[in-house]
Structure 1
Amino acid sequence: MYCPICFNDTLKIASSGVVKMTFNGKAKSTSQFFYDLKHDQEKDVLLKLDKVIADYFIYYSSFQNQDPIETVEATSIDFKCLNKCVINVSHKMNVIGLVFTKTMLIDSLNRMSVKYKIPLKLKFK
């Protein structure tokens, strides 16, 4: 990935950190989870992903007027530049495809939307 400071292809995700999830641009304080790429197996990441999505969908299911969930973002600030650039915490990078796959995310969203009766109209870039 390209570093937002030096613009070189030297940006790498940290081996452990936090993933923040947003749904239609909104999130709860619990809409995040810790990852450890050295120790987490795919099933561990999937359980964490399911837990965050279920938690938000339980909360969202209590809303009277539910807009369909169209956008879901998974970002982290836990990246390092190999050139040792100081990266501002406002630079949030997409982790879909790095911590978990897009397929894992869509499968989890579909399962939880059925379980909690949340309408989905996903629009991924």
Structure 2
Amino acid sequence: MPHHVFNRSKTILSEIGGVKKVIILGATYKPNIDDIRESPVMELVELFKQDPNFDVCIYDPHIASHELLCTDLEEAVSGGHLIILGVNHDEFAKINFSKLQPLMAQANIFDTRNFYDRSALIAAGFNSYLLGA
């Protein structure tokens, strides 16, 4: 699955030149825990790290430390091109996407968990993508 998400992300951002900033929401093995061991999202992070066309950061309130961890969501999305929902932590249901949209260079969200109301994301100014669609 990480390779599919990575390739789909590249397609979503294919028309943007230069280095693209990707923000991954949630990197743990499953929602609402702090364990990143054997997390498929961490494999996705590695794919982005290895590609010089991408700058990647992780926002996950359950992780205490990681070299790519951003601890402030607004700072993480600032200048970003794509938000990927990797893990659907409860906290992520409360994100105000209308507040985040103006901070981004290009407001795209790839909801890999079908967690968000797509019409609400579009109303907030995002291009919304689903894993199976």
Structure in which a larger fraction of residues adopt helix = 2
The two structures share one fold, judged by TM-score above 0.5: no
Structure number with larger C-alpha Rg: 1
TM-score by length of 1: 0.31
RCO higher in 1 or 2 (8 Å CA, sep ≥ 6)? Answer: 1
TM-score by length of 2: 0.30
